Structure 1
Amino acid sequence: MVQVKVFDCEHEKDLEEDVNQFLSRLEEDKLIDIKFHVAAMTEENEEQIYCFSALVMYRK
């Protein structure tokens, strides 16, 4: 069965840690693919907000 796990963090290092922690528990031959996305937004006070996300596809 194919499964997905979605990660969403405000900082790229947090995303890296979360994904690496998940992958450390996953057998290497079970990994199918990883998709990565970054979104940037500017709030009314002109502060820039980033959203780093990853989708891991794997076999269960």
Structure 2
Amino acid sequence: MIQVKLFDKEHEKDLEKEMNTFLKKLDEDKLVDIKYNVAAITEEEEEQEQIYCFSAMVVYRA
């Protein structure tokens, strides 16, 4: 059966760390694909701060 694991973090290093922890437990032959996305949102408050969202989806065989 094909399954997915979703990851979503505000910092790329946090995403990397969480994904590497998950991938260490996954047999390499069960990995199907990894999809990666970055989104940037500008806050409409005083400072016009940008918020980043780093996300990934690991597709694997259970």
Q: TM-score, normalised on structure 1?
A: 0.98
CA RMSD, 1 decimal: 0.4
Structure of greater Rg:
2
Per the alignment, residue 52 of structure 1 pairs with 54
Q: 1:11 Cα shift? A: 0.1
Following TM superposition, where does structure 1 have runs of at least 4 consecutive aligned residues deviating by more than 6 angstroms? Answer: none
Per the alignment, residue 10 of structure 2 pairs with 10
Which runs of 5 or more residues in structure 2 are unaligned? Answer: none
- Residues matched between the structures, number: 60
Which runs of 5 or more residues in structure 1 are unaligned? Answer: none
